Structure 1
Amino acid sequence: MQRDELAGWLRLALTPQLGTVGARRLLAAFGLPEAIFAQREAALATVVDSAVATALRTPPEGFESQLEATLAWLAQDPQRRQVLTLADADYPAALLALDDPPPMLYRIGRTDATPQRALAMVGSRNATPQGLQNARRFASSFAQAGVTVVSGLALGIDGAAHEGALEGAAADAVATIAVVGTGLDRVYPARHRELAHRIAERGMILSEYPLGTPPLAANFPRRNRLIAALGQGTLVVEAALQSGSLITARLAAELGREVFAIPGSIHSPHARGCHALLRHGAKLVESAQDVLEDLRFVLPAVAAPAAPAAEEPEGEEGEPAGEDPLLAAMGYDPIGLDALIARTGIPAPRLSARLLELELAGEVARLPGGLYQRQARA
């Protein structure tokens, strides 16, 4: 992109109080930014209110320094850093379904391939161990099927989804897309810096926010509309009733995208958001294949698993007879030590020691509040 072209789009995006809807109306009325800024104030005021029309007549404060910073950022790695505008052929077509697509989109990472199939995965930042495991395994399965996983680089479910996609994707595929709420010259949260670098190597990171934008609270619910639009469906892995993930699910539904949710324990606050979605029409899923089949994504041919040499004898509840009695007593809901003692009759010291063994073996997870939860097998 030439300097003058970038300057026009950046000035439009930075104009105070204009917003993405106003920018799109101006573009529809007058054409490219150069033509917009050539208009008289009276003509602009027929499309936007008079205060914004006045603001459009002069470059916004800090515009020149922002332009120089953006040009320098692009020059550092022109093969992997881009600024896309609504006029570019490479602008993600899925975002055009929005009423307010960003006039400018910053991108870093794979620019040589465009995902044909994508699924948004979102969930709690304070996820349970089981939720993290589910997100990682589902994302890995989607990536193995050639589906790009879209999420928000947040702690918890988002991070696990990105990790799983990176594990499962083919080397030449766009494994995952992270849509962030800051400028692309910073990583938030900071502990995901290494993950962000890996995503940029094998996927891409997108932002509508100018370089230097800090992690403002209002930016994250807003970026959720981009996550919802980029996916052909949205899977909520784990969410409380007040989770921002429910915003993403609502936006996806409003765009006509499918919404999926993984059910959880009726006793877990992390499952209540998913259960609310299910009550309002989201599709219940128990496996990645449920989602792939519903979205009619053709699965790659895989070898059938080998049949076991002999059937294991089953116990009274249909579980293999060799199952650990403590795991059978736990079930899959979170449970406290006192309740386990009551169920099993095992003395507290011996029970605590056994729970530690199972935790180290990855069979049990320790939760806040002195609770334990059995981990589902892969």
Structure 2
Amino acid sequence: MYPINSSEISPAELEARLRLHRLPELGPKRFRRLIDAFGCASKALSAPASAWRSLGLPAVSAEARRSHEVREGASVALAWLARPAQHLLMWDQPEYPALLAQIDDAPPLLFVAGDPAILEKPQLAMVGSRRASRPGMDTAAAFSRSLASAGFVITSGLALGIDGAAHQAALEVGGQTIGVLGTGLEKFYPQRHRRLAAAMIAQGSAVVSEFPLDAAPQAGNFPRRNRIISGLSLGVLVVEAGIASGSLITARLAAEQGREVYAIPGSIHHPAAKGCHQLIRDGAVLVETIEHILEGLRGWQALPCPVPLPATHPLVALLHAAPHTSEALAIASGRPLSQVLASLTELELEGQVICESGRWLARC
């Protein structure tokens, strides 16, 4: 028995949908065109090639539908779904995320490892540079902790840099987070975040993909997955991004989908801040605190009860806002310098802060 709503479609229809899903050059819109034309995937697969041509579908799609590779791939997916905590959400089932269903090219099938129920919870997407600076990583972690503690699910792309910092920080406060892959779930990329993804699944979060389970990394798939990150979310927060960053694609898609776009400003001398500054010039909300995000979302349905937030040392809280020298921390905190230095030593031993080039930074 398959985990998600298997009783609503027959095993044959499920297998047929998985076969359609693997066909070359058959994206979400063509997939739905077939279902609309023939009523179900099973009938679409058995229809003559001439009927497919009349719908304007490419010959390569019609020719591949009976291939051994397509049949075998569907069989592997059925076996995958039979295992615990592995699910398939389909766009015409009630469990499919309502916000995602609103976008024009919502994926007809969505593979989920973990808890599929959290895809319906209020989400904030956090994206940014893969080569993020240490302050950028710390800022991402600080905002993620605060947003997760306020009851939001943190959604991102499980990439290196800002994405990974956001996912990890949400887990640290007992929050929930969703990773959207640009590969199949069985071809995880990047490999360095495989343990993070496993921790997300084990702790009640989820990793999702619209691609067949064995889909390998391809450059074109990552911009395509960005529409899912924004489509699942109430808004997108860009933490640190250059002008050519893929995060700006996510922000553009969010705006087109009617979602809020937020951006954190940075130094005018830092190349990775230029993308955020461009977004702000284009109308994104300039964000300095979590309140700047919450203010714009108060009209949405009530959020779940906040996650308890572990107590943060006052010096660490100051460092989450910006790096400081020891002397600047003493002034900002109103504490004697000797007391600040002693506290910083303890915090450094605990792994909460680090000193780089004479300035203290909060660690993710």
Shorter-chain TM-score: what band?
0.7 to 0.9
Identity %, equivalent residues: 45
Aligned partner of residue 278 in structure 1, secondary structure: helix
In the TM superposition, residue 13 of structure 1 has moved relative to its aligned partner by 1.2
The CA distance in 1 between the partners of 2:86 and 2:80, in whole Å, is: 8
What secondary structure does 1:226 align onto?
helix
State whether structure 2 residue 15 is matched by structure 1 residue 29: no
| Contact persistence 1:140–1:169 (CA under 8 A) | no
**What per-residue deviation string (whole Å, max 9, x for no partner) do you get for residues 142-162 of structure 1?**
111111110011111001111
Kept in 2, the 8 Å contact 1:9–1:85? The answer is no
- 1:11 — aligned with what? 19
Aligned partner of residue 222 in structure 2, secondary structure: helix
The answer to whether the Cα contact below 8 Å between 2:114 and 2:201 also exists between their aligned partners in 1 is yes
Question: What aligned pairs does 1:50-129 form with structure 2 within 5 A after superposition?
Answer: 51=59, 54-55=62-63, 58-77=65-84, 80-129=85-134
Task: Kindly state the Cα deviation for residue 18 of structure 1 after the two structures are TM-superposed.
Answer: 2.1
Paired with 2:211 and 2:156, the residues of 1 have a C-alpha distance of 17
- TM (norm. structure 2) is 0.79
Q: CA RMSD in A?
A: 3.1
Alpha-carbon distance between aligned partners in 2 of 1:156 and 1:263, rounded to the nearest angstrom:
17
Find the aligned partners of 1:193 and 1:50 in 2 and give their Cα distance: 36
Question: Residues 72 and 302 of structure 1: is their aligned pair in 2 closer, same or farther, counting only changes over 3 Å?
Answer: closer
Which residue of structure 2 lines up, in the alignment, with residue 205 of structure 1?
207
Residue 375, structure 1, aligned to residue 361, structure 2:
yes
Deviations 1:170-218 (A, max 9, x none): 5xxxx01100111112432222122111111221110011112222222
CA deviation digits over 1:13-48, x for unaligned, max 9?
122222222112222333221232243333332322
Give 2:191's aligned residue: 190
| Offset of residue 166 of structure 1 | 1.3
Q: How many residues align?
A: 323
Match of 2:289 in 1: 287
Give the Cα–Cα distance (whole angstroms) in 2 for the partners of residues 33 and 155 of structure 1.
37
Partner of 2:321: none
Q: How much has 1:252 moved relative to structure 2?
A: 0.3
Question: Alpha-carbon deviation of 1:237?
Answer: 0.4
Residues 146, 169 of structure 1: 8 Å contact kept: no
Alpha-carbon distance in 1 for matches of 2:108, 2:206: 19
Structure 2: where are the runs of 5+ without partners?
Answer: 1-5, 309-324, 332-343
Aligned to 2:312: none
The residue type equivalent to 2:227 in the other structure is R
Cα pair distance change 1:50/1:246, threshold 3 Å: closer
Residue of structure 2 in register with 1:320 after alignment:
none
1:159 aligns with 2:164: yes
Aligned residue for 2:120, secondary structure, equals: coil
Residue 142 (structure 2) aligns with: 137
Gaps of at least 5 residues in structure 1 are: 304-322, 330-355
Give the direction of change, closer, same or farther, for the CA distance of 1:269–1:38 in structure 2 (3 Å limit): same
Shift, 1:286, TM fit:
0.5
C-alpha contact (below 8 Å) 1:14/1:60 kept by paired residues: no
Corresponding residue of 2:341 = none
Q: Secondary structure at the match of 1:16?
A: coil
In 2, the alpha carbon distance for the partners of 1:142 and 1:328 equals: 28
Alpha carbons of 1:153 and 1:81: their partners in 2 closer, same or farther (altered >3 Å)? same
Q: Secondary structure at the match of 2:215?
A: coil
Q: Does the Cα contact within 8 Å between 1:236 and 1:249 map onto a contact in 2?
A: yes
Report which stretch shifted further, 278-287 or 6-15. 6-15
Partner of 2:339: none
Task: Give a deviation string over 1:52-77, Cα, whole Å, max 9, x none.
Answer: 57437x42450122122212222232
Q: Structure with the greater relative contact order (CA < 8 A, sep ≥ 6): 1 or 2? A: 2
Partner deviation per Cα, 1:305-340 (whole Å, 9 max, x = no partner): xxxxxxxxxxxxxxxxxx7447799xxxxxxxxxxx
Higher relative helix content = 2
The alpha carbon displacement at 1:255 in A equals 0.4
**Rg larger in structure:** 1
CA distance in 2, matches of 1:161, 1:121: 7
Change (3 A) 1:377 1:112: closer
In 2, the alpha carbon distance for the partners of 1:9 and 1:287 equals 45
Residue 168 of structure 1 deviates from its aligned partner by 2.6
2:201 alignment partner AA: A
Whether the 8 Å CA contact 1:109–1:205 is kept in 2: the answer is yes
Distance 1:203 1:260, change over 3 A: same
- What's 1:47 paired with? 55
Partner of 2:268: 266
Q: When the two structures are superposed, what TM-score results if normalisation uses the length of structure 1?
A: 0.77
Distance change >3 Å, CA 302–CA 293, structure 1 → 2: farther
Higher deviation after alignment, 106-115 or 124-133:
106-115
Query: For residue 290 of structure 1, what is the amino acid of its counterpart?
Result: H
One-letter amino acid matched to 2:50: A
